[in-house]
Structure 1
Amino acid sequence: MRRFSALLFGLIAPLSLLTPMAAAATPATPDPISWAPCQEDPAVECGTLAVPIEWNRPANGTFTVGVARRKAADPAARIGALVLGAGGPGGSGVNLVLQSTRMLSPEVVRRFDIVSLDPRGTNRSHPVVCSTDLLLQAPGPIFKSQADFDRALEYNERLRADCRARTGPLFDHVDSLSTAADLDAFRAALGEEQLTFWGGSYGTLLGQLYAERYPQRVRAFVLDSTMDHSLGTQGFMDTETWGAQDAFNEFVAWCDRDSRCLQHGKDVRALWRDLLARADRGELHVPEEPGTQVTAPMLIGAAVGHFYDPRDWQSFSQLLADLDSGRAPSPGALSMAPLSMAALPMAADTTQEVSPNPFQIFCLDFRLPIRDYKEYARHLRRLAKIAPDMRYSSLALGPVVSCLGQPGPIPNPQHRLKVRTGTPVLVVNSLHDPATVYPWALSTTGQLGRSGRLLTYEGWGHIVYTRSTCATEAIDAYLISRTLPAPGARCPAVPPAEVQTLHEPVRPLPGTPGWMSARLFG
């Protein structure tokens, strides 16, 4: 525990002194929602909700947010509305409701109306769109000179201008604080006095902001695999990179003890270093695609993507074996990198003039500036010391590079949470999460103070719910009866071969439509 705390508390940035921009109060009588059976599943109702583009300036126009509701299976036992907070940024809350019977426990589905919205700027809520051709020109995240750094700044500026022109005025107002105001308008339209909430990954930021702004509306909130919205550039990059190295260490330990790893009994770290060195020299190619060079950022991104679920360790082992022997990797094995602007070429639909680009949400939620190439190079050198095998995390570098040059001030800057809810918020996190790293859970819980409680899953992977019986039962007890786990509660790790998570519907197979466009942290 000391190593987490030492890493964490040395990284809190001066940005923590900032407070979110005030949002206007939710209208007392929002327009009613016209519900109709969803096309994808008639058992779920879909609709739209009109909300202001700018909550502080409602006269500047409105747009519609896509919403969905699955009514409680047992109306007589109904507790209220349970909101599902989608990850990403770019995930769909409506899709989570459509998939809710496969991702939630039967008792939760029985007792709650399962509801959600697509966050503004995504999916059915006026998505941010950009030129597909321009997205395909996205530079990689590794710079070797000031000229490379300047080219990235120029590209980001061109992309922002293109996306703004194609999306309209909403482009500059897709921050999660505004989505929290949208959620409260949704609550009012539903006629609910309070909300119950489960948010996963980036969806936890919505839960944090809502609980901070509307504490009287909180019945029971779960932050599963939580963001830490208090970190500046160095803190964000360092903790993410620590998480990548920790996940790699756990993969190596699995290879040492499990014969299903194809590198069992071999020096996995030496093989990995050799593959990265070959990639640096331009010697790694996909055999069936002679023009496709495998770069070090591609390898590191693929590793982080495979570490999201310990059941993917075996396929990562296969990828390493294939690359080492010159065989063609399985489809999608190299495209598992979590989404950032540098990964958008894999997400863009080349058959369409425009493609969705939800990454602007992150750039309006996190200001992570780097002044010039010298500062960038200092970051890289420091990250390489934190992660001697991984060098950095694609989740540390990609988001920062993708938001370079974002004009300030942003509408939802980082700050330390000030939450005062009647029922403490439940924070749940894996000890070895490569995306929303465990130090973030410690930090978020510390910021919540008496309004927070941490449940630690001592295993691996991203998103805890349904990953172990212990964790699932604890979360369900909190959601249903507001029974909190004991202080310091921990759930033992479930070996990868025994994990029976229900989250496949939330996580499309690599290489399929929607895989990249719905992932950054979750």
Structure 2
Amino acid sequence: MAEADTRTTSPTAIDWKPCPDHETAECGTLRLPVDRSRPEGETFDLAVARRKATDPDRRVGVLLVNPGGPGDSGVNYTLTRAEAQLSAELRSRFDVVGFDPRGVGGSRPVMCSKKLLDARPSVYPRDQGEFERLAAYNRELREDCRRHTGPLFDHADTLSVVHDMEALRKALGERRISFFGHSYGTLIGEQYAELYGDRIRAMSLTANVDHSITGTREFLVSSATSAEDSWRQFVKWCDRARSCALHGRDVPAVWDGLLERADRGGIRDPEQPGRTLDASEIALRVFKMFYGPDWAEAATFVARLDAQRPETPAPGEPPETGQPLKAEPFAAVFCQDWRFRPRDHREFARLTAAERQAAPHMRGSPRVHAALAGCVGWPERVNNPQHDLRLSKAPKLLMMHSRHDPANPLSWAAEVRRQTRGRAVLLTYEGAGHRVYDRSDCTRDAMDGYLVALKVPHDGSTCAAADPADGD
């Protein structure tokens, strides 16, 4: 049975007002300290959005949501995506509340000079000199972002976000909250459960992140293996689906040949005339299409690039936006959450070779490689170092994960579940893609039943691949 309303009185209420362009939702801010150890110091405003339960008489409570990133906006999710991605049952029974984590969106975003961001060197240094130039660039960019962002830059880690979420719970006047976290949002959920487990009514985590990994090689290789697995699923689909733009061709040969042409500077960017795409950029764009999975789009993109005639591209410049600054929170979060710091080119080259061996076609995990390279040259100390998850007061958590997730391997979810020591169950969606909850009736019913009525699926449960792209 669903629980009764868990509201209480809070001395620090949010001043809710109708959201601009979204009058059926409410927006507000919560003023919080930048540095939790200095509550009387500088503050920032945490941006929050809420869609109230559409059936208030059957309201269960508050469902906080975070869509991941790091850098995705919980406010934007609540205003523009929740109605399509969350079931009518969840929206009728919960106040859906999203917030922008510190450093993101409307919560004092991390800002950096666009000109400097555009000058980023290759994340594949070929020798010690290029490695040192990458480190020097990262240090320069870090100082630039700190200067334009202010003190919050040094406190953009997920552990600080977890304390913000607890302050938000109090401001909402809730004794306990329910939480839905996706991808990097699962790290917020995991650490909230670790510190504030008795404040949780229910917590569902999809596409889980394992924050216990301390070995850089293990992190890179596991990510690369997941990316390569998704590439193989894409190839299998192309072999059987007539709708694939590469159907009937040797897809691995086409793909490998395309990346080799890109290595020689022979592939033009169809979106920016005069600019070429290197192999890592092509791999990253296709990798992001695997999130859907949008396999038809990926095949069309690859076929379009492969069909290009060899020619020398005309010189061109990226289009000017007229904005000197750009929001760029990823490194500020990631490099304060993970202590991965390759010390020299020899170590970096060994890591790159290991991930390419694990993913010979995708050449590693494009996004994770770039994330690691972005931390080269950063200080060794991090605010939120990796550690095994330790839960003592949290209720039973529901974890859901795709077997063929391109970004976060299923092994990460299995390891997190193991660390909970019986305080979580893991349900596996047997298909592909990064999203899990809205893939099928099976996945939706499992999470809805858990969040609404606290009906916990059996550990090890599965949901069949349901999307035609996953199983036809």
| TM superposition score category, shorter chain reference | over 0.9
Query: Which of the numbers 111, 115, 132 marks the counterpart of 1:133?
Result: 115
Query: Which of the numbers 274, 293, 297 marks the counterpart of 2:280?
Result: 297
Cα separation, 1, equivalents of 2:292 and 2:10: 43
After superposition, the C-alpha distances for 1:428-469 in whole angstroms (9 at most, x for unaligned) are 110001112211111111111211110100000011011111
- Does residue 155 in structure 1 map to residue 126 in structure 2? no
Cα separation, 2, equivalents of 1:327 and 1:260: 24
1:237/1:422 CA distance change after superposition, 3 Å: closer
Match of 2:41 in 1: 60
After superposition, the C-alpha distances for 1:318-353 in whole angstroms (9 at most, x for unaligned) are 12211121179xxxxxxxxxxxxxxxx99x983211
Match of 1:169 in 2: 151
Tell me the CA shift for residue 498 of structure 1.
Answer: 8.5
For the residue of structure 1 that corresponds to 2:274, the secondary structure is strand
Match of 1:249 in 2: 232
Query: Which of the numbers 382, 390, 394 marks the counterpart of 1:418?
Result: 390
Match of 2:456 in 1: 484
Bigger Cα displacement from structure 2, 97-106 vs 371-380: 97-106
Query: Which of the numbers 432, 435, 438 marks the counterpart of 1:463?
Result: 435
Tell me the CA shift for residue 362 of structure 1.
Answer: 1.1
Match of 2:326 in 1: 355
Cα separation, 1, equivalents of 2:435 and 2:468: 14
For the residue of structure 1 that corresponds to 2:201, the secondary structure is strand
Check whether the contact 1:30–1:185 (CA below 8 A) recurs between aligned residues.
Answer: no
Q: One-letter code of the match for 1:141?
A: V
Q: One-letter code of the match for 1:258?
A: A
Tell me the CA shift for residue 315 of structure 1.
Answer: 1.4
Check whether the contact 2:112–2:145 (CA below 8 A) recurs between aligned residues.
Answer: yes
Q: How does 1:433-452 map to 2 (within 5 A)?
A: 433-452=405-424
Cα separation, 2, equivalents of 1:319 and 1:106: 35
Query: Which of the numbers 191, 198, 201 marks the counterpart of 1:219?
Result: 201
Q: How does 1:223-242 map to 2 (within 5 A)?
A: 223-232=205-214, 233-242=216-225
User: TM-score by structure 2 length?
Assistant: 0.92
Cα separation, 2, equivalents of 1:198 and 1:101: 15
For the residue of structure 2 that corresponds to 1:292, the secondary structure is coil
- Does residue 394 in structure 1 map to residue 366 in structure 2? yes
For the residue of structure 1 that corresponds to 2:22, the secondary structure is coil
Tell me the CA shift for residue 391 of structure 1.
Answer: 1.6
1:135/1:286 CA distance change after superposition, 3 Å: closer
After superposition, the C-alpha distances for 1:292-322 in whole angstroms (9 at most, x for unaligned) are 1121111211221111112x11111112211
* Alignment root-mean-square deviation, CA: 1.9
Match of 2:25 in 1: 44
- Does residue 84 in structure 1 map to residue 65 in structure 2? yes
Higher relative contact order (CA 8 A, sep 6+): 1
Check whether the contact 2:66–2:74 (CA below 8 A) recurs between aligned residues.
Answer: yes
Tell me the CA shift for residue 29 of structure 1.
Answer: 6.0
Percent of residue pairs identical: 43
Match of 1:409 in 2: 381
Query: Which of the numbers 160, 165, 182 marks the counterpart of 1:200?
Result: 182
Tell me the CA shift for residue 496 of structure 1.
Answer: 3.4
Check whether the contact 2:217–2:354 (CA below 8 A) recurs between aligned residues.
Answer: no
After superposition, the C-alpha distances for 1:465-498 in whole angstroms (9 at most, x for unaligned) are 1111111110100010111111210000013358
For the residue of structure 2 that corresponds to 1:444, the secondary structure is helix
- Does residue 385 in structure 1 map to residue 357 in structure 2? yes
Match of 1:326 in 2: 308
User: TM-score by structure 1 length?
Assistant: 0.84
For the residue of structure 1 that corresponds to 2:49, the secondary structure is strand
Cα separation, 1, equivalents of 2:409 and 2:335: 20
Tell me the CA shift for residue 282 of structure 1.
Answer: 1.9
Match of 2:53 in 1: 72
Bigger Cα displacement from structure 2, 178-187 vs 440-449: 440-449
Cα separation, 2, equivalents of 1:30 and 1:277: 62
Bigger Cα displacement from structure 2, 451-460 vs 259-268: 259-268
- Aligned residue pairs: how many? 454
For the residue of structure 2 that corresponds to 1:155, the secondary structure is helix
1:111/1:29 CA distance change after superposition, 3 Å: closer
Tell me the CA shift for residue 138 of structure 1.
Answer: 1.1
Tell me the CA shift for residue 45 of structure 1.
Answer: 0.9
Query: Which of the numbers 264, 289, 294 marks the counterpart of 1:281?
Result: 264
Cα separation, 1, equivalents of 2:245 and 2:119: 36
Check whether the contact 2:181–2:206 (CA below 8 A) recurs between aligned residues.
Answer: yes
Gaps of 5+ in 1: 1-27, 329-344, 500-522
- Does residue 118 in structure 1 map to residue 128 in structure 2? no
1:496/1:351 CA distance change after superposition, 3 Å: farther
Cα separation, 1, equivalents of 2:11 and 2:352: 49
Bigger Cα displacement from structure 2, 417-426 vs 127-136: 417-426
Cα separation, 2, equivalents of 1:147 and 1:198: 45
Tell me the CA shift for residue 407 of structure 1.
Answer: 1.1
Cα separation, 2, equivalents of 1:451 and 1:254: 37
Q: One-letter code of the match for 1:174?
A: A
Bigger Cα displacement from structure 2, 76-85 vs 438-447: 438-447
1:288/1:350 CA distance change after superposition, 3 Å: closer
Match of 1:369 in 2: 341
Cα separation, 1, equivalents of 2:208 and 2:178: 17
1:498/1:269 CA distance change after superposition, 3 Å: closer
Cα separation, 1, equivalents of 2:287 and 2:170: 40
Cα separation, 2, equivalents of 1:296 and 1:216: 48
Cα separation, 2, equivalents of 1:277 and 1:365: 35
For the residue of structure 1 that corresponds to 2:438, the secondary structure is coil
Match of 1:333 in 2: none
For the residue of structure 1 that corresponds to 2:143, the secondary structure is helix
Bigger Cα displacement from structure 2, 264-273 vs 44-53: 264-273
1:288/1:124 CA distance change after superposition, 3 Å: closer
- Does residue 316 in structure 1 map to residue 298 in structure 2? yes
Tell me the CA shift for residue 270 of structure 1.
Answer: 1.1
Match of 1:520 in 2: none
Q: One-letter code of the match for 1:350?
A: T
- Does residue 270 in structure 1 map to residue 241 in structure 2? no
Tell me the CA shift for residue 283 of structure 1.
Answer: 2.0
For the residue of structure 1 that corresponds to 2:242, the secondary structure is coil
